[in-house]
Chains A and B, each alone.
Chain A
């Protein structure tokens, strides 16, 4: 679609605005893996309610509007890819202490070297994995 990049930009601005509000109102960095991870592994006991409320909004808003928006996840039906991908994403983001939102959006915007390096490596690794799976092995 021609307008994809425009929607991408508009959605990106919304994501960035959410991050800006979280920083200026709550004094916290909006990182999805950190907000979820701290609850899942029980390491962060502060601000539990705030974290749960954030996650509830993150799940509910798309749930309510996905139908009207006509959103498709196009998620693979291959359970090996789903579970393997989930494990790697969960493990990797916690080891690296951040994901696309924390390192990518919030880190790069303050010129954090850790954010920039992490983003380079996960995009590089994603690109290589995609090349292997789709073009070398033909799995995707």
Chain B
């Protein structure tokens, strides 16, 4: 399913490149030839491509996870460094030389002849050469999409994480990881068993406390509360972080008021208003 969807999406991207003229190197070079016989077609390609993406980002902002259950990309990275500028200048120069950028370089592989193959091989070579220079950017390792939301200094929630994220959590000082997602709603590669193994490999305590949406039973809350009261830095995840936040609000020991237990998750977009009476009854 995942591979098929990616295959079809890649195919649509390739056809778009073909239809738009991006696979015609003369057209691309004509667009870059600002001081000569300028061809504005690529401006329409760019504009046309940006329109659906603007809409998609708006939808993405309202969803915590993708259709397939992946965490949405975190906020755009900030900081404009020398790498970004120098890399873009080199890329632009290379783009002009042959008229191909990475997407079209792949799209023409099937019909671009030996020149197209040669370009792709050289491009992959350039990518390997750049590997030692690539900046790490954020505190999270490349490829990690974790979006860690600290409700308190010692309790954080996030959407679904991957087994590889356990090392990062360990590095950030967490000692306990709580899985609040029933296995029925996650792909097998992220099942509680797999995640528990990955946590154990990092020396992290792993608590399986599955919560079906809306089902905050006394047993669930007791287990969440016990894990939090156990001490150390606790990290809890579910599909969006919402259930992990609700369970925290109703079970975390300590002096926080009902108001605070609702207001803190609200900062991260979790709406706990519907649980006000229950939070007050349990923790008020």
Residues A93 and B10 in contact, CB atoms below 8 Å apart: no
Of B23, B72, B120, which is within 8 A of A62 by CB? Answer: B23
Query: Of residues 54 to 71 in A, which have CB atoms within 8 Å of B's CB atoms?
Result: 54-67, 69, 71
The interface residues of chain B lying within 8 Å CB-to-CB of A82 are 97-98, 115, 118-119, 122
Hey, what's the 0/1 contact readout for A22-54 against B, CB within 8 Å counting as 1? 111111111011001110110111100111111
B118 nearest in chain A by CB position: A82
In Å, the complex CA distance between A66 and B17 comes to 11
Chain B residue nearest to A102 (CB atoms) is B102
Contact mask B45-69 → A, CB, 8 Å, 1/0? 1111111111111011001011110
Q: Chain B 107-130 against A: per-residue CB contact (8 Å), 1 yes, 0 no?
A: 111111101101111111111111
Q: Are B33 and A93 in contact (CB under 8 A)?
A: no
Distance in angstroms between the alpha carbons of A53 and B51 in the assembled complex? 25
Q: Which A residues are CB-close (under 8 A) to B219?
A: none
Residues of A with C-beta under 8 A to B271: none
Residue of B48, B105, B143 touching A16 (CB-CB under 8 A):
B48
Whether A15 contacts B45 by the Cβ 8 Å rule is yes
> Within the complex, which residue of B95, B106, B113 is in contact with A36, where a contact is CB–CB below 8 Å?
B106
Q: Using an 8 Å CB-CB cutoff, how does the interface string of B81-100 with A read, 1 for contact, 0 for none?
A: 00111111111111111111
In the complex, the number of residue pairs spanning A and B with C-beta atoms less than 8 Å apart equals: 505
Contact B52–A88 (Cβ < 8 Å): no
Partner of B2 from the list A4, A9, A49, A114 (CB cut-off 8 Å) is A49
Within the complex, what minimum Cβ distance (angstroms) separates B39 from chain A? 8
The count of residues in chain A whose C-beta lies closer than 8 Å to any C-beta of chain B is 116
CA distance A100 to B68 in the complex (A): 26
Contact in complex: B51, A13 (CB < 8 Å): yes
Report the minimum CB–CB distance from B64 to chain A (whole Å).
Answer: 10
**Known contacts A72-B24, A73-B113, A114-B77; is A50 also within 8 Å of B3 by CB?**
yes
Quick one: given A67-B111, A93-B91, A94-B134, are A26 and B66 in contact (CB under 8 Å)? yes
Chain A contacts of B91 at CB under 8 A?
88-89, 92-93, 96, 99, 122, 125
Whether the Cβ atoms of B111 and A32 lie closer than 8 Å is no
Q: How far is the CA of A49 from the CA of B2 in the complex (A)?
A: 8
Q: Verify A129–B15 contact, CB threshold 8 A.
A: no
CA distance A37 to B91 in the complex (A): 14
**Contact call A53/B68, Cβ cutoff below 8 A:** no
Residues of A within 8 A of B120 (CB): 86
What 8 additional pairs, Cβ within 8 angstroms, besides A12-B44, A69-B19? A16-B50, A21-B9, A32-B106, A36-B102, A89-B100, A92-B94, A100-B103, A121-B89
What are 21 A-B contacts defined by CB distance under 8 Å? A7-B21, A8-B44, A23-B57, A23-B72, A24-B67, A27-B68, A49-B3, A62-B23, A73-B24, A84-B98, A85-B119, A86-B122, A89-B94, A89-B105, A90-B125, A92-B88, A99-B101, A99-B103, A103-B88, A107-B76, A127-B96
- 7 tightest CB-CB pairs across the interface, nearest first? A12-B48, A11-B20, A90-B126, A63-B110, A88-B94, A86-B122, A96-B87
